[in-house]
Amino acid sequence: MPAFLDHASTTPLRPEAAAAVVEELGHVGNASSLHSSGRRARRVVEESREALAEAVGAGVSEVVLTSGGTEADNLGVKGLYWARRAADPRRRRILAGAVEHHAVLDVVEWLAEHEGAEVTWLPVDTVGRVDLDALAAVLAEHADEVALLTLMWANNEVGTLQPVQRAAELAHAAGVPVHTDAVQAVGHVPVDFAASGADSLALSAHKFGGPVGAGALVLRRGLDLVAVQHGGGQERGVRSGTLDVPSVRGMAVAAAAAVAELGSEARRLGALRDELVAGLLDAVPGVVVRGDPDPAGRLPGHAHVTVPDCEGDSLLYLLDARGVECSTGSACQAGVPRPSHVLLAMGLDPLEARGALRFSLGRTTTAADVEAAVAAFAPAVERAQRATRAARTRRAS
């Protein structure tokens, strides 16, 4: 079995979640139907909604079920923008962190291109954390124009946690609602929706051991939101569509299990991550660890590094050939590798950013996986650097 160190992309389905999904697949019933089978399905949905709400510190009625994090982010950002603009046409400005996931970044850019939104990208520091002074300055100057602030809870590349609660305080003082993409955070660090001050929060089941294709938008009571899709009026009228009862139950079971073991698992993963980082630094001179160096300021299972004179995608394939699965920090569009927007926003130059690797540990990660990654790292880097030098020589000749 390969050493799977890409849990930030997806996590193995928890056995208890798989069992719940399989059990529900044996039942028939639309949760919107009024007969006995429908009422049984509805009961499963509502019990799952209760469990999910408890896991993230929200009210039961605040959980809007979706197909995953991307849909939840689309609904949260677009829905808030359209509702705010309809109430006050001046509110066309969106404030967004410069290191947002593409599920938010691309939504914001789409609104700018198609819906007349004006975007202010908030700068971050060298560890990837948003500049609150910059946020306060923009709010002071443009408060009457701002539709919403969107700020992720935890960065998917470097693992840095964002000051969502403080940002929400600043935004609310200016009358601005806040959306947070918490897809990487739920099940890995404490998430309390009510205490955070956020008005909407996106999560995705497959990031914490649930099934792919299930997620939720946690939406504050009384907040107006324009629906993105229309139909039967399910989920408070803002997310129409027949509910996937097996996946909803599997998500709830996984969330409860992840939150129950959150503290002990964070300590275990933090120790393994520290061993991994120490091994990588010892194996290859010049490697730089990115993200917040303070364990309290980052996801426990994230280890993001940049390697000099390397292409991250080349390293990925070389490590994969040695049985180690991780990811790069590059976004590949139209077949062309491009430096990560996250690393560029943190101040790295494009050459540095291209040599990025992200190792993300999770529930199934073992000490043997870490040892395998450390053992494979130096040979992979040596070969990748040799290829880079050869390519530069060919271009120079």
Question: In a 10 Å sphere around its CB, with 0-12 CB exposed, 13-18 middle and 19+ buried, how is residue 171 labelled?
Answer: buried
Task: List all residues 6 or more positions away from 386 whose beta carbon is below 8 Å from its beta carbon.
Answer: none
- Closest listed residue to residue 191, CA positions, set 58, 290, 312: 58
Sign of CA dihedral 315, 321, 324, 326: positive
State how far the Cα of 175 lies from the Cα of 85, in Å rounded to an integer.
14
State how far the Cα of 342 lies from the Cα of 125, in Å rounded to an integer.
11
Q: Is 326 a catalytic residue?
A: no
Residue 2 CB neighbour total at 10 angstroms: 13
Q: Are 5 and 12 in contact (CB under 8 A)?
A: no
Q: Are 66 and 200 in contact (CB under 8 A)?
A: no
The one catalytic residue among 332, 368, 390, 391: 332
The CA distances from residue 114 to 79, 107, 111, 158, 303, in Å, are 14, 10, 5, 31, 37
Positions marked catalytic = 332
